[in-house]
Amino acid sequence: IKELNKLIGELKSILYGDNEREPAPEACAQLTREFFRENTLRLLIIFLPKLSLEARKDASQVVSNLQRQPVQSRFIASDYLGSNLDLMDHLISGYKDPDIAFHYGGILRECIRHQCVARYILESEHMKDFFDHIQLSDFGIAADATVTFKELLTRHKSTVADFLSRNYDWVGFFFLTFVLLICHLLHLSFPFQLLGVILLDRSNSGVMIRYVSSKDNLRVLMNLLRELILLEI
């Protein structure tokens, strides 16, 4: 494990440079090719809990950087993740472990930059799991899960619009219950803000019309507005 910790530090130096030199594009491209060719990302994710705290931070930065490294004008990370989507199951399960939740959460958000990953998660049962993660008693982890959830519902507009139109019933129910009850009890503004972002996006115009046409939804929003006004008094 000590050697692995050291190796991860060296990978970070190649990708980010150090006090003496800037990162070399050729070296970064070569590292990216080898990293995904040798299935190193899978090993790094699986063994992340066994690393030292500093090595976990370095590993998260390494993975984040490699997601954005172009190789001959292509992001080969997207091709790799498209063939290894089961890794997302592993990353999302990390929210159940306080020791690795933040590291896995950061890596997960970088993976969501790729449309194939976002589509996979949106179509999986993990979307419903996020509602539990957002309500965790550990505020820090809940906040991290919230950021990831927002990224899922705002990053890839066409994919999100398709998901919302086909899953409107249970997604709408989530906002009906979560916005009214959780926001009222815990004074959380996130669901209300996210709802506004989603409904005001032109890609989701069909969902917006359906949502605002519901008397139940209008009642929820009016009750929430009343609670917010009372809090200001």
pLDDT band at 183 (very low <50, low <70, confident <90, very high): low
Instruction: Provide the CB-side half-sphere exposure for 23 (13 A, CA).
Output: 19
**What is the rounded CA–CA span in Å between residue 3 and residue 9?**
10
At position 163, the amino acid (one-letter code) is: F
For 98, 116, 142, 186, 229, the CA distances from 139, given in Å and listed in that order, are 11, 29, 5, 11, 25
**What is the rounded CA–CA span in Å between residue 21 and residue 56?**
23
Look at the block and give the residue holding tokens 């209008």.
218
pLDDT number for residue 145: 87
Give the tens place of pLDDT for each residue, 49-59. 988 888 899 99
- Tell me if the pTM is above 0.85: no
* Residue 123 CB coordination number (10 Å): 14
- Residue ranges, comma separated, of all CATH 1.25.10.10 domains in the chain are 1-155
At position 192, the amino acid (one-letter code) is: F
DSSP of the chain, one letter per residue?
Answer: -HHHHHHHHHHHHHHH--SS-PPPHHHHHHHHHHHHHTTHHHHHHHHGGGS-HHHHHHHHHHHHHHHT--BTTB-HHHHHHHH-THHHHHHHHGGG-TTTHHHHHHHHHHHHTSHHHHHHHHTSTHHHHHHHHHT-SSHHHHHHHHHHHHHHHHSSHHHHHHHHHHSHHHHHHHHHHIIIIIHHHH---HHHHHHHHHHHSGGGHHHHHHHHT-HHHHHHHHHHHHHHHHHH-
pLDDT number for residue 88: 95
Range scoring the smallest mean pLDDT among 9-18, 146-155, 180-189: 180-189
CATH number for region 1-155 = 1.25.10.10
Give the tens place of pLDDT for each residue, 69-124. 888 888 899 999 999 999 999 999 999 999 999 999 999 999 999 999 999 999 98
Contact (Cβ atoms closer than 8 angstroms) between residue 19 and residue 3 = no
pLDDT number for residue 86: 94
